[in-house]
Structure 1
Amino acid sequence: MAPWWKGAVVYHIYVRSFFDSDGDGHGDLAGVMAKLDYLKSLGVDAIWLSPIHPSPNRDWGYDVSDYDDVHPDYGSVEDFQALTKAAHGLGLKVLLDEVLAHTSDEHPWFTASRDEGPEGDKADWYVWADPADDGTAPNNWLSVFGGPAWAYQPARRQHYHHKFLRQQPKLNWRQPQAKAAALTVLDTWLSRGADGFRLDVANAFLHDGALRDNPPIPAADRDRAAWAHASDMQRHLFDANLPETIPLLDEVRRRVEAHGADRFVFGEFSEEEARCGAYGAPDEGLHSAYTFVLLKARRMTAQLFKDHCETLAAHPQHWPTISFCNHDVPRTVTRLGGPEAGASVARLMLALLMALRGTILLYQGEELGLPEAELSRGELRDPVGDLYWPIAKGRDGARTPMPWRSDAVHLGFSNGAAWLPAAESHRPLAVDRQELDPKSTLAFARQMITLRKASRALTHGDIEILDTPEPVLAFLRRHEGQTIACVFNLSGRTARAEHPRLTGGEVLPVSSGDCEALPGGLALGPHACRFLKCP
C-alpha cells in the first residue's frame, strides 16, 4: 500500500496571516484549529504550518531563537498539541516547517558560540572564519538577501557565515554535536504529534570545509529574471548544494521514519537541484522535494511544464512535490497570468496543479484565486522588499491576511490591527462570497481535489507528455489500467489540441472554459481545460 503522502494534497498555511483568534493582529494556532472544518471541506490530506517557534522576526519566523517552544504570538506547546489532536480527529496530518540550516543570532547556541570564543563548547557549532588580511570577508560567497554572506563579529575577531540575513548565522552540520542537536529537534516535535516536516533550504545544510570561492556564472548564461540578486551571478557550489548533502538527508529521513512508517519529510531546493539531492529516490535522501523551477516561472507556456516533466522523468524513482505558489513568491494568478488575470487563469492553474504527478502543495488562498496584493513601501514587513524596493517589492504581496468575510474589518482575519493590511482586491474573492456561488473558484478547487482523490491515475499514475504545439499542454496519467488525458489551453485565445489520444474519450464532469470535440482532437476556449477517460 502506498504511503499516505504519495499523491496527497497538502495545504500550506502561513500561520501569521491565516486567522487571528484573539484579536492581536497575528494569526495563531487556535485560529488554525478554528478553521479545520474549512480545511477538511477542501478535501486536503494534510496541513503544513510555517515556522511556529519563537523568533525575533527579522525574517518572520525563519530565524529561530528557540526550537523547543512556540512563538507567543501563536500560542503554546499545548495549543500545538490540541491542534494536532483535532486535526488527526478529522483525518488531517500536520507538518511543521523546520529551519535547521541556520538559526537566529539570538539563539542560545549562537550566543554561546560567539561569546565563549574559539575555546568554548559550542565554538564550532557555526561557520566561523578569519578575515582576509585587509579585514574583508574570507571568500566571495554572497548572501541571497544582498551583500557578502559573512558578518564580522568583534567578540571573536572572526566572520561568521550567513546565507540569508546577517541575523541568520549558518549552523555547522559538520560539527557532530550541532548536528545531533538539530536532529533532536525533529524527535521533539514528532513526539509532540507532528506527522513530519518541510525542511527549509534543505540544499544548504552543508558547506565546503575549505571555504573555496564560488565560480561565476558566465554573463551570457545568467537568467535575466535574476537581476534582483547579485548572488545569482555565481554558482553556489561551495556555500551550499554539496553532493555530500544527499547521505545527510538520507540520515534525516531515517531519523524521521524511526517515529513511524507514516511520517513524511520533504525539502526545499532552490538551486543546483540535481547536485544536492532534490531528485533523490525515497530511499536515498528525503521522501520528496520541490524546486523553484515552477515557482520562479513568469509566463504560462506548455514548454515550461514539458521541460520540468522531462527533468523529473530522468529520475524515475523520485517522487516530486509540486508547487506553483508559496510564501516566498508572487501569487500564481498574477505571476503567470499578469496583473489583469482573473478566475479563468486561477481555475486553469488549479486544474493543472491537481493533474500533475507528485504530492501537491496548495498555498492558502490559492483555492480562492487570490491575486498578488499591492502594498506601499511603508506597509512592507519583509526585509527583502525593504532592500530591493521599488525594483522588487518583496514577499509580502503573497503574505497578506486570508480573506474570510467580505463585509468584515480586515476581511474577517482579525478584530485587531492586522500585522499586514488585508488586500482590498481580495474582498470580492472572500470565502463567504465564494461559498455561496457554485461556480466560484473555491467550488472548482473542491471539485478538482475530489476528482484527483477519486482517481488512482491522477494520484499515483505515471505521466506521459503528448506532442501538442503551444499553447496547448496535454498529457496522460496512467495507473492500473486507467488512463486519463489532461488537456490545457495556456493562453487567452482559442486553441486546437490535435492528437489521436484526445478523441473518443469520456469527458469527465470537472472542466473549465469552453471546449468542443473536433475530428482529431479538441477546440479549447481561452484558459480552458478538459479531462478525458481514455478507452
Structure 2
Amino acid sequence: MTEAPWWTSAVVYQVYPRSFADSDGDGVGDLPGLTARLDHLQRLGVDVVWLSPVYASPQADNGYDISDYQAVDPVFGTLEDFDRLLADLHARGMKLIMDLVVNHTSDEHPWFVASRSAKDDPKRDWYWWRPPRPGFAAGEPGAEPTNWESAFSGPAWTLDETTGEYYLHLFDRKQPDLNWENPEVRHAVHAMMRWWLDRGVDGFRMDVINLIAKDPALPDGAPIGRGALGDGFPHFGTRPRCHDFLRELHREVFGDRRGRYLTVGEMPGVTWEQARLFTDPARGELDMVFQFEHVSLDHGPGGKFDPEPLDLRDLKASLGHWQRALAETGWNSLYWNNHDQPRVVSRFGDDGRWWRESATALGTVLHLHRGTPYVYQGEELGMTNAPFGGIDDLRDVESLNHYRQAVAAGADPEAVLRGLRAMGRDNARTPVQWDASHAAGFTTGEPWLPVNPNHSWLNARAQYDDPRSVFHHYRRLIELRHALPVVALGDFRMLLPDDPRVYAYTRSLDGTTLLVVANLGGDDRVAVVDGEWSAADVVLSNVDRVDVDGGRIALGPWAAHVLVR
C-alpha cells in the first residue's frame, strides 16, 4: 500500500498577518509579532502555517495586490524577519506555505508599469489590453471591451489614458489580470516560485487560481439583472487551459520533488468533477482545492450580502456530496473560516447563550471529515463577528464598494449595513484577541481595525488554563487527527441526512469505526444511529453530560460527541 501523503494527517493554520500580532506599536500586525506568538500555535498543535500575503504591496486589497513578489512589505518587516520566522517554524516541526497571488498583480508592479507605458512595450502582452468596444469612444459609458462585472462591483475594465485602451481586472482596478497565454508570464511566475522554495518555504496556497485561463476571444457574458453588466465567469472560470497551466507549473516548479510540498488552489465556482481532475495525483496539478459551495448556502436572492438562515440539510447534502465525490480520487480541504468569510460561530452557530458549545460543536463536525482541516486565526478561540457601528468602521474594499453602489441604486443604507455586518470580510480581520488588555494584546498602539469589545472575556489567555475552553477543544480535535489513522484516512458515511438539527457521520478504517454526532441547535434532540454504542466509547465531547444507550444518543443544545470502537 502506498504511504499516504503527510498532509492527510496535518492541520493548517491561516495567519492574516495584518491582524495577528503587532510587534512595533504601529497598529498593524507584522512578521516579528507572528514569530513572538508561535508558542500559541505549537500549543494548539497545528502542523502548517498558511501565511497570507506579506509581499510588497500598495495594500489596495490588503496585500492581495502585489507590487514585488520577492520583497516583504515594510509594514510587515523584512526578508530577514521572514527568514527568522521560517527557521523558527521549522525548528518547532511546523511548515509554512505562502499565499500566491498570480491571477493578477498590483498596478504598481514593474511588469504593469512597463505594460501600460506604450502599446509596443515588450510587456504589453503580459496583461489583457483591448481597445474600446466598436462604435464607442474611449471613456464613453458602455465602451468597455466586454460587459464583465468585477468581483468588487462595477466593470471589470478600466481605461488607461496613456494609450487609450482598457485593461482587464476581475477584482479591484488596482489589480490588473496577468495574461497566462503569454509563456513569458508563466516562466516569470515559475522562476519566482522556485525562488521561494529555494528559500525554504513548504508550498503555496494559490489565490483564485482557476481564473488564470481566459477565453482569448473575451466574449460578453449573460446580462446580470437589468443592468448593463454581464456574468463573464463562463469565459474565465475553470476553463480547460487552466489544467494545462497547472500541470506545467507543477512540472517546472516542483519537478521530481513531488510530495514534499503542499499545493492548494482556491477555486471559486469549481465543481466536484473539476476538483477531482485538479487533485488527481496522477495528473500532477494540485494536492487539494478550496471550494465555496458550502459557504454559499446562506446567500439569499440578493447575493452574499442578503443572507438567509442556513438549512442544515443543505449543508449535509453539500459536504456529504464532496466527501463522496473525492473519496477515491482527490482530496478535500475542510474549512469554515478564512480571511474572506464571516466568523462561523456568528454565522452558523449561536454567539450568545451557546457561544462555547456552538463554537466547539461546529469545530467537531468539520474537523473529523475526510480532508485537511484549516483553522483561521481566532477560530480556535471562538472569535465572533464584530459589532460594526456604521460604514466608517469598515475597511474592506469589497464592502465599501458594495455599500456605495447599493445606496446609489436606492437601497436602504441600514439594510445594506445589516448585510455587511453579517457577511463582510472585516469580520474575519479584527485583531486576534490575546488578552483583556488594551487592544486585546494585539498592539501597544491603535489597531488598524477596531478590536472586538468582547475581548474583555473572549481571549487566548483566559482559555489557556480552562480545560473546557474552545482552544483546548480544538487542540484535542487536532490530537485526534494525529493519533487515529481513521480520522485521516477512513471512509465517510453520512447519517441522518434529513434531520434538520443533528449532524452525524461515521468514519471507518481497518475495523475501527469513529462516530461523530452533534446537535447544531438550541433545543434538546435525540439521535438514533446504527450500532451498539456506550458512554465508554466517547473519546471527545464538548459537554459534561453524555447520554448514550446503544444506538440512542440524547443531545443537549449544541452538544457534540466523538465515539470510537
> TM-score of the superposition, structure 1-length normalised?
0.93
Contact 1:151 1:160 in 2 (8 A): yes
Contact 1:53 1:61 in 2 (8 A): yes
Q: 2:457, 2:355 → 1: CA distance? A: 12
CA offsets, 1:24-53, max 9 Å, x none? 111111111111111011010110011010
Give the Å deviation of 1:277.
Answer: 4.3
Contact 1:461 1:479 in 2 (8 A): yes
Residues 361-372 of structure 1 aligned to structure 2 (within 5 Å): 361-372=374-385
Give the Å deviation of 1:246.
Answer: 1.7
Matching of residue 78 in structure 1 with residue 80 in structure 2: yes
Q: 2:261, 2:339 → 1: CA distance? A: 24
Give the Å deviation of 1:301.
Answer: 0.8
- Give the equivalent residue in structure 2 for 1:223: none
Q: Which amino acid aligns with 1:287?
A: D
- Give the equivalent residue in structure 2 for 1:447: 476
- Give the equivalent residue in structure 1 for 2:321: 310
Matching of residue 353 in structure 1 with residue 353 in structure 2: no
Q: 2:260 aligns with which of 229, 250, 262?
A: 262
Residues 83, 273 of structure 1: alpha-carbon distance in 2 compared, 3 angstrom cutoff: same
RMSD of the alignment, in Å? 2.1
Give the Å deviation of 1:501.
Answer: 3.1
- Give the equivalent residue in structure 2 for 1:112: 114
Q: 2:444, 2:72 → 1: CA distance? A: 22
Identity %: 37
Residue range with higher mean Cα deviation, 384-393 or 33-42: 384-393
Matching of residue 414 in structure 1 with residue 443 in structure 2: yes
- Give the equivalent residue in structure 2 for 1:93: 95
SS of match in other structure, 2:430: coil
- Give the equivalent residue in structure 1 for 2:555: 524
Q: Which amino acid aligns with 2:510?
A: E
Q: 1:335 aligns with which of 336, 342, 347?
A: 347
Q: 2:342, 2:517 → 1: CA distance? A: 25
Q: 2:93, 2:192 → 1: CA distance? A: 25
Q: 2:323, 2:181 → 1: CA distance? A: 30
- Give the equivalent residue in structure 1 for 2:235: 238
Residue range with higher mean Cα deviation, 428-437 or 513-522: 513-522
- Give the equivalent residue in structure 1 for 2:426: 396
Contact 1:506 1:533 in 2 (8 A): no
SS of match in other structure, 1:97: strand
Residue range with higher mean Cα deviation, 515-524 or 361-370: 515-524
In structure 2, stretches of 5+ residues that fail to align are: 138-142, 299-309, 404-412
Q: 1:380, 1:502 → 2: CA distance? A: 52
Q: 1:75, 1:440 → 2: CA distance? A: 33
In structure 1, stretches of 5+ residues that fail to align are: 220-228
Q: 2:273, 2:144 → 1: CA distance? A: 26
Q: 2:532, 2:209 → 1: CA distance? A: 40
Q: 2:130, 2:156 → 1: CA distance? A: 12
CA offsets, 1:202-247, max 9 Å, x none? 111111101012235799xxxxxxxxx998x736110332122122
- Give the equivalent residue in structure 1 for 2:140: none
Q: 2:63 aligns with which of 61, 64, 70?
A: 61
Q: Which amino acid aligns with 1:322?
A: L
Q: Which amino acid aligns with 2:51?
A: L
Q: 2:517 aligns with which of 458, 475, 487?
A: 487
Contact 2:246 2:286 in 1 (8 A): yes
- Give the equivalent residue in structure 1 for 2:248: 251
- Give the equivalent residue in structure 2 for 1:202: 209
Q: 2:337 aligns with which of 310, 317, 325?
A: 325
CA offsets, 1:354-385, max 9 Å, x none? 11110111000000001111223223221112
- Give the equivalent residue in structure 1 for 2:399: 385
Q: 1:179 aligns with which of 186, 192, 195?
A: 186
Q: 1:427 aligns with which of 449, 456, 459?
A: 456
Give the Å deviation of 1:507.
Answer: 2.1
CA offsets, 1:436-459, max 9 Å, x none? 212111111111111221111112
CA offsets, 1:503-527, max 9 Å, x none? 3584233102344123532111111
SS of match in other structure, 1:309: helix
Matching of residue 464 in structure 1 with residue 493 in structure 2: yes
Residue range with higher mean Cα deviation, 375-384 or 361-370: 375-384
Contact 2:220 2:232 in 1 (8 A): no
Give the Å deviation of 1:251.
Answer: 2.4
Residues 502, 296 of structure 1: alpha-carbon distance in 2 compared, 3 angstrom cutoff: farther
Q: Which amino acid aligns with 2:237?
A: A
Q: Which runs of 4+ in 1 moved over 4 A?
A: 216-219, 274-279
SS of match in other structure, 2:454: helix
Give the Å deviation of 1:293.
Answer: 1.8
Q: Which amino acid aligns with 1:359?
A: T
Contact 1:279 1:320 in 2 (8 A): no
Residue range with higher mean Cα deviation, 68-77 or 331-340: 331-340
Give the Å deviation of 1:83.
Answer: 0.9
Contact 1:101 1:201 in 2 (8 A): yes
Q: Which amino acid aligns with 1:251?
A: E
Residue range with higher mean Cα deviation, 515-524 or 64-73: 515-524
- Give the equivalent residue in structure 2 for 1:125: 126
Q: Which amino acid aligns with 1:383?
A: V
Contact 1:198 1:265 in 2 (8 A): yes
Contact 1:243 1:275 in 2 (8 A): no
Contact 1:16 1:27 in 2 (8 A): yes
Give the Å deviation of 1:122.
Answer: 0.4
Q: 2:274, 2:551 → 1: CA distance? A: 44
Residue range with higher mean Cα deviation, 158-167 or 132-141: 132-141
Contact 1:295 1:325 in 2 (8 A): no
Contact 2:168 2:177 in 1 (8 A): yes
SS of match in other structure, 2:126: coil
